[in-house]
Amino acid sequence: MTVSSVATAYHHPLPLETTFAPASLPALLERTLAMNPQAPFLHFLGRTYSYAQIHKQAKAFALGLQTIGIQKGDRVGLFLPNVPIYAAAYYGAMMAGAVVVNFSPLYSVEELSWQVGDSGTRVLVTVDVPELYKTASKVLGASALETLVVGSLADQLPWYKGLALRLLKRSQIAAVAYGPTIKSWTEMTPAGNPVPVEVTPADLALLQYTGCTTGRPKGAMLGHDQLSVNAQQVAALNPFGNPAGEVFMGALPFFHVFANTALLNHAMVTGAAIAMVPRFETRQVLATIQRYRCTGFPGVPTMFQAILDHPDLAKTDLGSLKVCISSGAPMPGPVHEKFEAVTGVRICEGYGLTESSGVVSANPYDGIRKRGTIGQLVPGTQVVLLDKEDAARLAPEGEPGELAVHGPQVMRGYWNRPETDAETFVTIDAKRYLRTGDVARIDAEGFLEIVDRIKDMIAVGGFKVFPSVVEDVILEHPAVKEALVIGVPEDYRGEVPRAYVTLNEGAGATGEELAHWLNARIGKHERVDMVVVRESLPKTMIGKLDRKTLRAEVL
């Protein structure tokens, strides 16, 4: 089944057939800058950065990269929370012709080291938060990484907050050992202009690591064309007029593909502002919405649940919010209904993948929307439903099938993994479609609903956890013989990983001991709620551990 095979009634502001001109992201930033250089781009804990200020820092960083030999196509990694230098480093690296690689600040040394090596990252940018600097500096010494750039958090704050951090909270500032391979952000942003580099829409812009149910995570190759078009597709969903007047709540982490498109690049292409916080902390988010009169709030379901649960909600003025957009994981119906009833703010669910630059569909922000669906396609996008047993065929008419996406925002492929193309893409009517692994149905108006998943990814509060990664770690414990990890329901995060293991003969480890050992070695979002020790784990007829049967037994 295709979305065009049903009688659709399209409810987004622009027609579904609308197309957008691809461009390089630095070119779009230049265009926005020309419209109003002094317009606010980033609000950060009481300090405001204009488009002109971020653009100036980006150009300076591009020059700094060139002075240490970074050339077009080289990879520059960002290991950062939501701080202003993220935007400057992101666009600055692209001005130099480099490819940005996003790394989660939640990564362990082992995870970061592997992805740095796989991507060939030469330069890594972080900030002097002790936990981040400690991890990044260890990776510098244990990988092919050449240069670590460390920004000062205090320098990015209002002067009085920066002074207070330096004087009163020294323990929250890392003691950075600057030298030939560890450079300060100030040193890497010298005065002057970079040597012009031709950056075209066809050039690679971003490696965004995702994953699969077996093996290591993979780097989705996203070009300037894909990212620039997806940002314009998202901007086209706004029915409220004057997009430059919007102020987005920036609680989503910029390193996540959803935020990268729906927040950072979306704001940049329209001239909007982002009121950003370093991480999601409910009291701070509520205060930020009220202080900066935020008009839009992209988030994940756990954020909206946390807001409902917080005592400050009753005294917070949310009257400026026009809409909240929820993605990353299914929105529980009771949370959806209660949030709208309590706040009076509409929540619209959407859907996307790393491989689609972030956004495929969304419910309309105004007018008709359908709870429990992922809405209608963003303009310029097409989907088909594939037969769940044979992806070379379409699903029977009226039946659910695997959702496959075709559009200008779909990735080129996976970094250095051309062999995965055959299982990642399918050709229908001479068009290349991205297989999502999600089973969906399409109603008579073209609204899509996700009803199942083919892949085994676990959605933890908007982050994807890959069971095999966690299994590989726990199997390193000498007591563990076999391991399976599945997602189990949790009210707050939607799902949480849980490990099931068998032990080697004579081993006496308890589940509690194993959980403590495991969680110390994996990322925060990957941590299991418990380890269950069993006599046996289900297997297929050929002796392969059977995650599907285990999930059916447990759930």
- Domain stop point among 168, 183, 199: 199
Q: Average pLDDT of 69-91?
A: 98
The answer to whether the CB of 308 falls within 8 A of the CB of 339 is yes
Q: What is the pLDDT of residue 211?
A: 54
453 pLDDT exceeds 80? no
Query: How far is 187 from 164, CA to CA, in rounded Å?
Result: 24
Q: What is the pLDDT of residue 5?
A: 40
Q: Average pLDDT of 77-82?
A: 97
Query: How far is 435 from 353, CA to CA, in rounded Å?
Result: 11
- Cα angle: 304, vertex 306, 307; to 5 degrees: 65
Name the band, by pLDDT with cuts 50, 70 and 90, for residue 214: very low
Q: What CATH number has the domain bearing residue 497?
A: 3.30.300.30
Q: What is the pLDDT of residue 4?
A: 44
The number of domains in the chain is: 2
Give the containing element (helix H, strand E) for 472: helix 467-474
169 pLDDT exceeds 70? yes
76 pLDDT exceeds 60? yes
The answer to whether the CB of 448 falls within 8 A of the CB of 351 is yes
224 pLDDT exceeds 80? yes
Q: Average pLDDT of 225-232?
A: 98
Bridge-based pairing state of the strands 99-102 and 75-78: parallel
* Site of tokens 């790394």: 103
What percent helix, strand, coil does the chain show, rounded to 5?
35, 25, 40
Residue 349 lies in a domain: no
Residue 467 lies in a domain: yes
Residue 490 lies in a domain: yes
Name the band, by pLDDT with cuts 50, 70 and 90, for residue 219: very high
Query: How far is 13 from 284, CA to CA, in rounded Å?
Result: 33
Name the band, by pLDDT with cuts 50, 70 and 90, for residue 213: very low
Range of the domain at 516: 458-554
Q: What is the pLDDT of residue 84?
A: 98
Residue 418 lies in a domain: no
Q: What is the pLDDT of residue 376?
A: 97
- pTM value is 0.86
489 pLDDT exceeds 80? yes
Contacts 24+ apart (CB under 8 A), 200-206: 200/24, 200/224, 201/22, 201/23, 201/24, 201/225, 201/228, 203/24, 203/72, 203/97, 204/73, 204/99, 204/412, 205/24, 205/25, 205/94, 205/99, 205/100, 206/99, 206/100, 206/101, 206/102, 206/260
Q: What is the pLDDT of residue 6?
A: 44
Q: What CATH number has the domain bearing residue 64?
A: 3.40.50.980
Q: Average pLDDT of 62-69?
A: 98
Name the band, by pLDDT with cuts 50, 70 and 90, for residue 541: low
The residue ranking higher by pLDDT, 281 or 552, is 281
Q: What is the pLDDT of residue 215?
A: 57
Q: Which two tokens stand for residue 357?
A: 């630059």
- Domain stop point among 158, 178, 199: 199
484 pLDDT exceeds 70? yes
Q: Average pLDDT of 16-29?
A: 98
The answer to whether the CB of 502 falls within 8 A of the CB of 536 is yes
Q: What is the pLDDT of residue 212?
A: 46
As to burial, measured by CB atoms within 10 angstroms (0-12 exposed, 13-18 middle, 19+ buried), residue 380 is buried
415 pLDDT exceeds 60? yes
Name the band, by pLDDT with cuts 50, 70 and 90, for residue 409: very high
Three-state SS at 227: helix
- Cα angle: 157, vertex 161, 163; to 5 degrees: 105
Residue 362 lies in a domain: no
* Cα-based distances in Å from 197 to 71, 143, 203: 9, 28, 12
Q: What is the pLDDT of residue 301?
A: 85
pLDDT tens digits, 275-325: 999 999 999 999 999 999 999 999 988 899 899 989 999 999 999 999 999
Residue 119 lies in a domain: yes
Three-state SS at 236: coil
The residue ranking higher by pLDDT, 169 or 540, is 169
Helices (H), 169-223: none
Name the band, by pLDDT with cuts 50, 70 and 90, for residue 543: low
The values of phi and psi at residue 8, to 5°, are -85, 150
Q: Average pLDDT of 49-63?
A: 98
Q: What is the pLDDT of residue 545?
A: 77
The answer to whether the CB of 486 falls within 8 A of the CB of 550 is yes
> For 73-77, 217-221, 461-465, which range has the lowest pLDDT when averaged over its residues?
461-465
Per the prediction, the chain carries an average pLDDT of: 93
242 pLDDT exceeds 50? yes
Residue 323 lies in a domain: no
Q: Which two tokens stand for residue 44?
A: 């950060």
Residue 378 lies in a domain: no
pLDDT tens digits, 338-386: 999 999 999 999 999 999 999 999 999 999 999 989 999 999 999 999 9
Query: How far is 393 from 423, CA to CA, in rounded Å?
Result: 14
**What's the first-to-final CA gap in the chain, in angstroms?**
31
Q: What is the pLDDT of residue 8?
A: 63
- Domain stop point among 180, 199, 218: 199
